[in-house]
């Protein structure tokens, strides 16, 4: 761990501009790095010994944060981590928060997050003991983050996400996941149909969460730890071609006074049912 002696005061400083660019997906992918804002996420990143490049601290928050970082950033994992103090104005340029806490961590993309195209049976990536949930076209980063948070709470080991879903490194996803992003494996799949087919060929049952003719109440199904629930798009649900190759369609019985549940709430209920 190193502390840069110079205080970066200008909002146009190249490193400040570089860090602020990571709020955009294109720049995140180019640099293979993302932002984690706030003390909690910084502590979680340190706890999991993630590849931290920089920790930016606002000048007004330096007295509070420097001592605990000096004691926490020990060992080889953080040998190249650099702590940088900025003016409050420069810090605000980097931050995506309305009321920033004064600490932002820049982390390399995580090697336990994978991107895959077409899945073949011999390449099936879920181990026999892994519990899994699948997300198909879940576009809201807040929903994605909430599902990640619930997945960790209910003992899910692996989340499979279609490539047209929200970006897992989106600042809103990371905020909503509340540090749980660092405690679960995630695989982003381009050809989602190949994942469904391969999972079934490997002996997994996949249940599409939707209210279609013939769909069963989740209470009617004897769930197994190997079963996979699939949650669909917030507005359009699960595409028919994907639904058609799932084991069955299931729904959560709800009051007639409302039409549906939020995607992340539905996911949490399904995971809770499976965890009972």
User: How many CA atoms lie within 13 Å of 122's alpha carbon, on the beta-carbon side?
Assistant: 0
Predicted local distance difference test score (pLDDT) of residue 84: 97
Cα separation of 185 and 156, whole Å? 9
Predicted local distance difference test score (pLDDT) of residue 50: 96
Predicted local distance difference test score (pLDDT) of residue 19: 98
Cβ distance 193 to 238 under 8 Å? no
Predicted local distance difference test score (pLDDT) of residue 211: 86
Look up the pTM and report it: 0.93
3-state SS of the chain: helix, strand, coil percent to 5?
40, 20, 40
Express each pLDDT in 160-186 by its tens digit: 999 999 999 999 999 999 999 999 999
User: How many CA atoms lie within 13 Å of 130's alpha carbon, on the beta-carbon side?
Assistant: 17
Please give the full DSSP string across 211-258, using - where no structure is assigned.
--TT-EEGGGS---TT-EEEE-BTTTBS-HHHHTTSSEEEE----TT-
> Phi-psi bin for 214: left (phi > 0), alpha (psi -120 to 50), beta?
left
Predicted local distance difference test score (pLDDT) of residue 38: 95
- Residue 158 reports pLDDT greater than 90: yes
Express each pLDDT in 211-229 by its tens digit: 888 899 999 999 999 999 9
Predicted local distance difference test score (pLDDT) of residue 95: 97
Express each pLDDT in 189-200 by its tens digit: 999 999 999 999
User: 233: pLDDT confidence band, cut at 50, 70 and 90?
Assistant: very high
Express each pLDDT in 79-98 by its tens digit: 999 999 999 999 999 999 98
- Residue 256 reports pLDDT greater than 90: no
User: 275: pLDDT confidence band, cut at 50, 70 and 90?
Assistant: confident
Predicted local distance difference test score (pLDDT) of residue 242: 97
Average pLDDT over residues 221-249: 95
User: 259: pLDDT confidence band, cut at 50, 70 and 90?
Assistant: confident
Q: Which domains does the chain have, with CATH numbers?
A: 2-108 (3.30.1330.30), 113-275 (3.40.1280.10)
């Amino acid at each position: 761990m190193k502390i840069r002696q110079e205080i970066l005061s200008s909002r146009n400083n190249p490193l400040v501009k570089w860090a602020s660019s990571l709020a955009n997906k294109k720049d995140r992918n180019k640099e293979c790095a993302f932002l984690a804002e706030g003390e909690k996420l910084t502590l979680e990143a340190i706890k999991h010994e993630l590849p931290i490049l920089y920790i930016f601290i606002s000048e007004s928050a330096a007295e509070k944060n420097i001592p605990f970082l000096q004691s926490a950033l020990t060992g080889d994992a953080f040998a190249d981590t650099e702590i940088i103090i900025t003016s409050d104005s420069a810090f605000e340029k980097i931050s995506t928060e309305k009321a920033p806490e004064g600490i932002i961590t820049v982390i390399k993309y995580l090697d336990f997050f994978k991107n895959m195209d077409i899945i073949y049976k011999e390449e099936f990536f879920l181990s026999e003991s892994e519990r899994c949930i699948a997300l198909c076209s879940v576009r809201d980063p807040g929903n994605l983050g909430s599902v990640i948070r619930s997945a960790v709470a209910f003992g899910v080991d692996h989340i499979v996400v279609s490539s047209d879903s929200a970006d897992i490194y989106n600042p809103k996803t990371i905020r909503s996941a509340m540090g749980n992003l660092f405690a679960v494996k995630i695989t982003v799949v381009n050809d989602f149909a190949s994942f469904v087919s391969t999972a079934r060929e490997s002996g997994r049952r996949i249940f599409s969460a939707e209210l279609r003719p013939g769909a069963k109440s989740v209470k009617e199904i004897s769930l197994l730890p190997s079963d996979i629930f699939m949650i669909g798009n917030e507005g359009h649900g699960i595409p028919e071609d994907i639904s058609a190759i799932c084991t069955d369609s299931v729904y959560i019985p709800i009051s007639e006074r409302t039409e549906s549940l939020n995607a992340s709430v539905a996911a949490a209920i399904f995971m809770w049912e499976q965890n009972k």
